[in-house]
Amino acid sequence: MSARSFELLLETAFDSPNPPVFEEGAATVYTELERTLREAKFSAGSSREQLSYRFERLRLGVAIAFVKAFLRLAENEKSKEVLEVLQEAVKAKNTREIDKIVQKRIASFDNLYHEIFVNPQREEILHLFELTLDAGTKEELDELIMEGLELLNEVDWDAPHNTEDDDDAEPLDEDFLKSL
């Protein structure tokens, strides 16, 4: 896996060559985790905290990509809070601070599940987001990055996504409704 794949995931999700996620850039976040993993093999103690922190930042970045893609398809105002929580957490200076930020606004995550089944791609993106939260290794995150890139490249971003307010939707047949 490469830092470039991680960058592409974020760029695709945000539809921007410079997604506003990491001040230092996505590639740096990815390579810092790789460096910390190498260093952790030869030392203990304080490097463990750095390893956890670097891993959490990468995981947050992958989660942000999936939530942003989900929002581009869902256009759900309440779900934007989740993106805000994740973007705030990614700026934290250690894992304790990340946990504190997320726990304080954990109820926001319930909004992601509102009406996801209207669009199968939203459901798939949300599933990848859930797998990201459960990931425990860099290899799992690498796999999710690749799955995410595949999925996001298949999405028709220009298709109408808000089926609830679609005025062109065919009205339900009254006879059909009466037969129910």
Distance CA 141, CA 95 (A): 17
CA angle 16, 19, 23 (to 5 degrees): 150
* 83: nearest Cα among 71, 99, 100, 98: 71
Q: What is the DSSP string of 54-78?
A: HHHHHHHHHHHHHHHHHHHHH--GG
Cβ count within 10 A of residue 105: 15
Residue pLDDT, tens place only, 104-156:
988 888 777 765 556 788 888 889 999 999 999 999 999 999 999 999 999 87
- Name the token pair of 37: 């993993």
Mean pLDDT, the chain, rounded, equals 83
Mean pLDDT, residues 27-47: 83
Separation between Cα atoms, residue 135 and residue 131, nearest integer Å: 6
> What backbone torsions phi and psi does residue 21 show, to the nearest 5 degrees?
-115, -55
The predicted-structure confidence for 52-62, as pLDDT tens digits, reads as follows 999 999 999 99
How far apart are alpha carbons 98 and 95 in whole angstroms?
A: 5
**Which pLDDT tens digit goes with each residue over 92-118?**
999 999 999 999 988 888 777 765 556
Asked if residues 71 and 80 have their Cβ atoms less than 8 Å apart, the reply is yes
Mean per-residue pLDDT for 24-28? 93
Distance CA 96, CA 94 (A): 6
- 18: Cβ contacts below 8 Å, ≥ 6 apart: none
Residues 27 and 17: beta-carbon distance below 8 Å: no
Taking 80 as the threshold, does the pLDDT of residue 162 lie above it? no
On the question of pLDDT at 165 being above 80, the answer is: no
Residue 63 one-letter amino acid? A
Whole-angstrom distance, CA of residue 146 vs CA of residue 49: 27
End-to-end Cα spacing for the chain = 53
